[in-house]
Structures are given as structure tokens and as C-alpha cells.
Amino acid sequence: MTAPTPEVLALLEATLDAAVIMDDRGRIEAFNTSAEVMFGYRAADAIGRNVNMLMTAADRGGHDDHLRRYLTTGESQVLGRGRDVRVQHRDGSEFSVFLSVGRIPNSAPPRFLGFLHDTSLRQKALATLEKERQVNRLYLDLAQVMLVATDRNGVVQLANQRAIRVLKREHANIVDSNWIESCVAPEDRATARAAFRHLLVSGNDEPQVCEYHVRSSDGEDRFITWRGVALRDAENVATGIMLSGEDITDQRRAESEAHRALERMNSVARLATMGEMAAGISHELNQPLAAIANYAQACVRFLRMPAPDLPEISGALEQIASQALRAGEIIRRIRSLVRNEDVRRETQDINELIREVHGLLASDARVHDGKLALDLASPLPSVTVDGVQIQQVLMNLVHNAFEAQAPEHDGAPFEVRIATRVTGSGDVEVSVSDLGPGLAGEAEQKIFEPFFTTKASGTGLGLAISRSIIKAHDARLGYRANHPRGACFYFVLPAHQEAPS
Amino acid sequence: MKDLPQTVFVVDDDDAVRDSLRMLLKSAGVHAEASASAQEFLSSYDASHPGCLVLDVRMPGMSGLEMQHELNLRGVTMPVIFITGHGDIPMAVEAMQHGAFDFLQKPFRDQELLDRVQRALVRDTENRARLRHTDRIRERLASLSPREREVLDLVTQGKANKMVAGDLGVSQRTVEIHRAHVMQKMEAGSLAELVRMMMAVAPPP
């Protein structure tokens, strides 16, 4: 055994790593200060003992075998390479070091110099990092919003629990797949793509909001409000996007229910007002008519007398003239009433309006022991209408149809049918037909006249008002006989023209 | 009292309708008086004035139906013809149930109104004649002495003089004298006529 030269010892003391020299049997020859600090042995205590005392129980036996194999075969698993090993402090605590070993040149039998670099700090940092990662994961998963991150190609990097639940898919199934192709509802992919591109190219760091449907694995579409930001690298180049999404499907549904209920109430209220208005109008109009009839008949009687009372007659004629004007004034008032209705035109799907009416009239159908059938063509061009008014007309027509059938109940179920179709000119025809007695002769001529009614309790205004509503929509409310029997009322609404941009 | 002419009382809040009705009735030779409201009519009406009423069902203030109710309370028996508008049929039905004479939907033909008015006036005359008859019977009843009234009640129950004498504890001769006075004061020619008179004034069962 040769004692290390002072240069070697100085070198060993200068390094911050633990340095150990051992002989061919593993006995420690040198043990530097760093080694003392790292392992808790004094150099004097360590020298002469087998180096395997620094190793964990699990590695101890292996070390002697390695050494022996090297000495007989020259094979080494560590020389020139280094490796991570677990070692043991004097107090029994274990830690990791990176071990690099070199054979001291020209030594025979061979001697070895080992450097042990404490890597437990790095390991601790890695463990902390992992823990942080888990906490972050927890944050993501606890979030009540869907969180999705993708790279700049739209490939999903991350999806939280909420996103997984809404999409009803496995995490592994989402990650690494293309977000838009695999999760967005096909109808909304164009929207989603545009929003994605916009996020990547706009330098704006404000979250951008967009809404589109995602499709879950079982085919259910959920409506999501997304807030998206671009993820950027150090050079401020967008590397991907982060989306936070709120599932507003149920909220939307509740809103549209509430909206529909309100509309329903409005139209019922309007209908009731219309009924009251009709009663009021007919009473008012009746007054001057009755007076005119009375005066005229009185005049005839006076004129038949041998000595007619001329002043009385001329007074009556003056009254007739002024009462006729009064009637005209009432009619003018009705007209302006109908015209002053504020018309709120919107581009709408007529089928949707009809489906809403269908819901409203179901009870009407039940009362009449009948059925309201829908025969709706799809797709239909959209139309620009005041939805509530059109619904009012439909309700009036359907109501009339049920009433028309009522007196002839012969056991067959009443059926009223609302149908839509596209006409030859590309416009939308809406018809309401029944299997009642239909209209005969005089009734067909007069059916649209105000105050004409075939019903015992009718005001005769429903159809007249309906016709004025349809006319205000640049259409005409018409009547034709239904096949094989019954009546059919219809109107043709012009298809909505896209305004040239 | 008998000099008062039969009058058709028109009550309608619409000036033109009211005036035209009055004129139509006048042209048919019927005397008419018009009021613009139920209150106006009720405040000036004298129940002894014969005639009939033509009432508008719909009026502000007191409606035709309410006025009919008020007339019933006051014991006015004058027939009421209601004039109704379009869609007032339920009201007309209610009016008929409460004893209206008839109703008319306006506008109407003059003859329809005049026919109804004529029939209503005839009804009023009959009513008043019946009333006059019972009034007379009541006057005669009031002229009887208490003893004569007792005899009348017993004989109209079908009792013979002898039984009446027994019930009242007087002689049969005395009963015969009272009975002769009763027949004379009541201007009855027979027992049967006396019974009819008593039935005419009896309160309805």
C-alpha cells in the first residue's frame, strides 16, 4: 500500500464531493473531509474498514461481487460511467449519491478512487416538483369548470376531471387526441376552429369568450361557454391554448322554458284582450246601427201617414246620417288599433313557432276530444315574422277548426292538422285543416267579414283580425276545401331574403 | 187615475238609441217616455202609471238586470222588454228567468218591437184589472164586522149554518142574519162566488 502523495491529498480535500480511495479488497485507504461530513465517520475511523459499510444493506453484498468480478474478468459496471447508488449515513439514514469510480493508474494490485456526489437535494427538488404537480392537478380537478389545454396544433395536453365528466371519456382517451375533431359537436367545429385560430394569432392576453357544443362519448351535446387564453413561450410565441369552459346547457334550457312560458302568457293575454275588444267593438257598433234602423223605420211609418210630420222626419234623417258617421268612426278606430300593434319582426323558423303553438293547444284538443297533428316540411326557408302574432293566428285557426268539428261528433276522433310546405316559388305555406263540415255557399263568401260568425258564441272577429295580421306580413289568409272533407285555411309567407352584403 | 194613457217607458243610456226608440214608438202611435238611466226612471216613476218598460241590458250605473231586480222589490208589475246587444244572450236568459216579459236583440225590425210592446201593454192591462178586482174585494172585506168576518171564514170552509152556530156559540138564526149581511156587503150572488173572491185575495201558498 502506497500513501497518497500530498498533491493527491490536496486534490481530495479541494473537492466538495466525498472522495474515497480503496484497495483491491475494498478497504478504505483515504477518506476526505467531505466524506466525513457526508457519512458522519472520522477519516481515522473509516480508514482500514471495508467501503461497503457506506452502502445500504441491500447493496452491500453486491459491491464485493462487483469488485471480485472486475478483478478476475476486468468487467466493470461502474468504471468510467458512474451510477446512482443508495448509501447509508453512520446514523443509519439512507440517501442517494452519484458515484463515479476510477482505477488509480499503474496500481497493482489495483486501487480505486471514488467520488460520491450527494444527489438527495436534486431528488428532493424532484419530489417537491412532483408534489406540486399533484397539487396543481388537484386544483384542476376541484375546479367547477372544464379545463382543457392543447398545443398549437389543437392536440390535448391536459383535461381536468370536470372536462372528463362532461365528455364522459377517459383522460387517456382525450389527451393526445385533437380537441376539435374528437370532442366538439360536428355542427360547431367551424366555430371552434375559428376561435382557436383567433386565440393563437391575436396578441391579446385577455381571455376570449366563445360558445359551442361539445359532444360526449354517448352522443349527448352540451352547450359550453369557453374562456380561452393563448399559452406562450419565453419568446412570446403561442405554443398552445388553455380553455376554461362552463356547462350552461341546463341554464339555457331553463331560460328558454321561462321565456316560452312568458310568451305563452303574453299570447293568451293578447287573445283574451282581443276577445274583450271584440265584445266591446260589437256592442259599440251595434248602438248606431240600432239607432239608424229605428229612425229609418220610424220615417217609413211617418211617411205612410196621411199628414206626415215632416219636421220629425227630417230630424230622424239627420240622425241617421250622423249615426252612420258614428259607426264609421268606430270602424276607423278598430283599424288604427290593429295597425298600431307594434310589430316585432324577426327571422324565424316557422316550424319552431308551430311546435310551440302545438304545446299550447294540446289542452284545447283534449277539451274537444280531438287530436292536433303536425305535418311539417323540413328544411324550410326561414321567414321574417312577428312570432307572437303568427302564433295568435294559428291558435285562432286551430281553435275554430276544433269548434267547427264539435257539433258533428260521430265517434271518429277529431283531427286538426297544421302543415307546412315550400311552394313552387320557394315561399312557405302554412295551413290549418280539419275534417269538419267545411264551409258552404254563403259562409265561404262571408267568412272573412268582420262580425260574421257561424258559432253561437262567436264574435266574428277572430278571422278578420287573423286576416289583417297576415296581410300586415305581406301575405293573404285564404280558404279552400280540404280533402276528403272539411275546411283548410292557409297563408303563404315570403321566404326570408338574405340582405346583399 | 183611469185617465193616464198607457205609456212605453224607454230606458237606454245611448242618446241616439233612446231617441230613435221614442220616435219609432211615436210613429206607431204609441206614447213613449224616455229616461237616460235606471235611476232617472225610478225617481220619477209613479206605480199607478200603466204601460211597459223597454230596457237596455247594458247600462253604466244600474244595469238593466239590476233595475229589474229593483222593480221586483218595489212590487212593480209592469212588463219589461229587454234590448240586448250581440253576445248578451246569457244576460237575456237571466232576465227571462227573473220574470222579464221578452227580449229583443238589436238591431231589430220595427214590427218585432211593436208586436212585443203591444203584447206587453195588453199584459199590463190584464195585470192591473186583476189588481183592481182584488183591491175591491179587500175593500169589501174591510167593511165587515168582526163577527161577520168569522161567519165568512167558517162558511167558506164549507160549514153549514148549524155548525157555524155551534162553533161561535150563537143561535142559528143569528148566523143566518150575519150571513145575509156578508153576502150583501161582499156583493156575492152565491156561496161559490164568495169562495172565488176569497181565493183571489188569498196569499199564494
pLDDT at B1 over 50: no
- The x, y and z cell numbers of residue B180, run together, are 145575509
Q: Which residue of B has its CA nearest to A298?
A: B24
Interface contact flag, A295 B24, Cβ < 8 Å: yes
Assign A296 a pLDDT band (cuts: 50, 70, 90). Answer: very high
Show the 3-state SS of B4-20: CCCEEEEECCCHHHHHH
* From A287, A292, A302, residue closest to B14, measured CB to CB: A287
pLDDT at A59: 79
Residue B41 near residue B64 (C-beta atoms within 8 A): no
pLDDT at A185: 92
Q: Which helix (H) or strand (E) holds A246?
A: strand A238-247
Nearest CA to CA, how far is A326 from chain B (Å)?
Answer: 10
Q: To the nearest whole number, what is the mean pLDDT of chain A?
A: 82
Q: Which helix (H) or strand (E) holds A418?
A: strand A414-422
- Interface predicted TM-score (ipTM) of this complex, two decimals: 0.73
pLDDT at A436: 82
Q: DSSP states of chain B as a string?
A: -TTSPPEEEEE-S-HHHHHHHHHHHHHTT--EEEESSHHHHHHH--TTS-EEEEEES--SSS-HHHHHHHHHHTT----EEEEE-TT-HHHHHHHHHTT--EEEESS--HHHHHHHHHHHHHHHHHHHHHHHHHHHHHHHHHTS-HHHHHHHHHHHTT--HHHHHHHHTS-HHHHHHHHHHHHHHTT-SSHHHHHHHHHHHSPP-
The whole-angstrom separation of Cα A51 and Cα A60 is 9
Chain B touched by A325 (CB under 8 Å):
no
Digit-coded pLDDT (tens) for A428-464: 999 999 888 888 777 776 666 655 566 554 545 577 7
Interface contact flag, B23 A316, Cβ < 8 Å: yes
- For residue B58, which of B14, B113, B108, B9 has the smallest C-alpha distance? B14
Using a CB-CB cut-off of 8 Å, the residues of chain B touching A298 are 20, 23-24, 26-27, 110
pLDDT at A277 over 50: yes
Q: Which residue of B has its CA nearest to A293?
A: B107
Burial class (CB in 10 A: 0-12, 13-18, 19+), A307: exposed
Assign A281 a pLDDT band (cuts: 50, 70, 90). Answer: low
pLDDT at A468: 77
Q: How many CB atoms lie within 10 A of CB A373?
A: 13
Using a CB-CB cut-off of 8 Å, the residues of chain A touching B30 are none
Q: Which helix (H) or strand (E) holds A148?
A: strand A146-151
pLDDT at A3 over 90: no
Domains plus CATH for chain B? 7-129 (3.40.50.2300), 143-201 (1.10.10.10)
What integer is the mean pLDDT of A235-263? Answer: 82
pLDDT at A450: 54
CB contacts under 8 A, A 391-430 vs B, are: none
Least confident range from A308-322, A398-412, B126-140: namely A398-412
Amino acid at A281: I
Interface contact flag, B107 A292, Cβ < 8 Å: yes
Q: Which helix (H) or strand (E) holds A480?
A: strand A477-481
Q: Which residue of B has its CA nearest to A283?
A: B85
Nearest CA to CA, how far is B124 from chain A (Å)?
Answer: 24
Least confident range from A351-365, A451-465, B44-58, B164-178: namely A451-465
Assign B106 a pLDDT band (cuts: 50, 70, 90). Answer: confident
Assign B73 a pLDDT band (cuts: 50, 70, 90). Answer: confident
Using a CB-CB cut-off of 8 Å, the residues of chain A touching B58 are 283
pLDDT at A292: 94
Nearest CA to CA, how far is A434 from chain B (Å)?
Answer: 26
Pairing of the two strands B80-84 and B51-56: parallel
Least confident range from A22-36, A94-108, B4-18: namely A94-108
* From B23, B58, B89, residue closest to A294, measured CB to CB: B23
Interface contact flag, B24 A301, Cβ < 8 Å: yes
Q: How many CB atoms lie within 10 A of CB B42?
A: 16
Amino acid at B19: D
Using a CB-CB cut-off of 8 Å, the residues of chain B touching A294 are 17, 20-21, 23-24, 107, 110
Residue A210 near residue A226 (C-beta atoms within 8 A): yes
Using a CB-CB cut-off of 8 Å, the residues of chain A touching B24 are 294-295, 297-298, 301
Assign A472 a pLDDT band (cuts: 50, 70, 90). Answer: confident
Helix residue ranges, H only, B49-88: 64-73
Digit-coded pLDDT (tens) for A165-183: 899 988 888 889 999 999 9
Digit-coded pLDDT (tens) for A84-105: 888 999 998 888 888 888 888 8
Using a CB-CB cut-off of 8 Å, the residues of chain A touching B86 are 282-283, 286, 451, 459
Nearest CA to CA, how far is B129 from chain A (Å)?
Answer: 32
Chain B touched by A297 (CB under 8 Å):
yes
Q: Which helix (H) or strand (E) holds A288?
A: helix A249-304
Interface contact flag, A291 B14, Cβ < 8 Å: yes
Percent of chain A with pLDDT over 70: 84
pLDDT at B23: 93
Interface contact flag, B107 A302, Cβ < 8 Å: no
Interface test with A, best of B18, B24, B104, B114 (most A CBs within 10 A): B24
pLDDT at A341 over 90: no
Digit-coded pLDDT (tens) for A35-79: 998 999 998 999 999 988 898 888 777 777 888 888 888 777 777
Digit-coded pLDDT (tens) for B109-160: 889 999 999 999 999 999 888 888 888 899 999 999 999 999 999 999 889 9
Nearest CA to CA, how far is B23 from chain A (Å)?
Answer: 6
pLDDT at B31: 92
Residue A158 near residue A147 (C-beta atoms within 8 A): yes
- For residue B11, which of A358, B139, B51, A320 has the smallest C-alpha distance? B51
Q: How many CB atoms lie within 10 A of CB A288?
A: 25
* From A283, A288, A297, residue closest to B24, measured CB to CB: A297
Nearest CA to CA, how far is B102 from chain A (Å)?
Answer: 18
Interface contact flag, B23 A290, Cβ < 8 Å: no
Chain B touched by A182 (CB under 8 Å):
no
pLDDT at B100 over 90: no
Interface contact flag, A286 B110, Cβ < 8 Å: no
Residue A204 or residue A377, greater confidence: A377
The whole-angstrom separation of Cα B101 and Cα A316 is 29
Q: Running DSSP on this structure, what letter comes out for residue B135?
A: H
Residue B87 near residue B65 (C-beta atoms within 8 A): no
Residues of B in CB contact (< 8 Å) with A are 14, 16-17, 19-21, 23-24, 26-28, 58, 83, 85-87, 89, 106-110
Identity of the highest mean pLDDT range in A65-79, A214-228, A326-340:
A214-228
For residue A495, report the phi and psi dihedrals to the nearest 5 degrees: -65, 145
Using a CB-CB cut-off of 8 Å, the residues of chain B touching A295 are 20, 23-24
Residues 6+ apart with CB under 8 A from A30: A4, A8, A9, A12, A19, A20, A21, A43, A47
Place of cell 448509501: A87
Pairing of the two strands B102-105 and B80-84: parallel
pLDDT at A501: 44
Q: Which residue of B has its CA nearest to A302?
A: B27
What integer is the mean pLDDT of A126-142? Answer: 83
Domains plus CATH for chain A? 6-118 (3.30.450.20), 126-251 (3.30.450.20), 260-340 (1.10.287), 346-493 (3.30.565.10)
What integer is the mean pLDDT of B188-196? Answer: 89
What integer is the mean pLDDT of A491-499? Answer: 82
pLDDT at A269: 55
- The x, y and z cell numbers of residue A448, run together, are 272573412
* From B14, B28, B85, residue closest to A282, measured CB to CB: B85
Residue A95 near residue A54 (C-beta atoms within 8 A): no
pTM: 0.41
The whole-angstrom separation of Cα A331 and Cα A338 is 11
Using a CB-CB cut-off of 8 Å, the residues of chain B touching A323 are 16
User: CB pairs below 8 Å between A and B: how many?
Assistant: 82
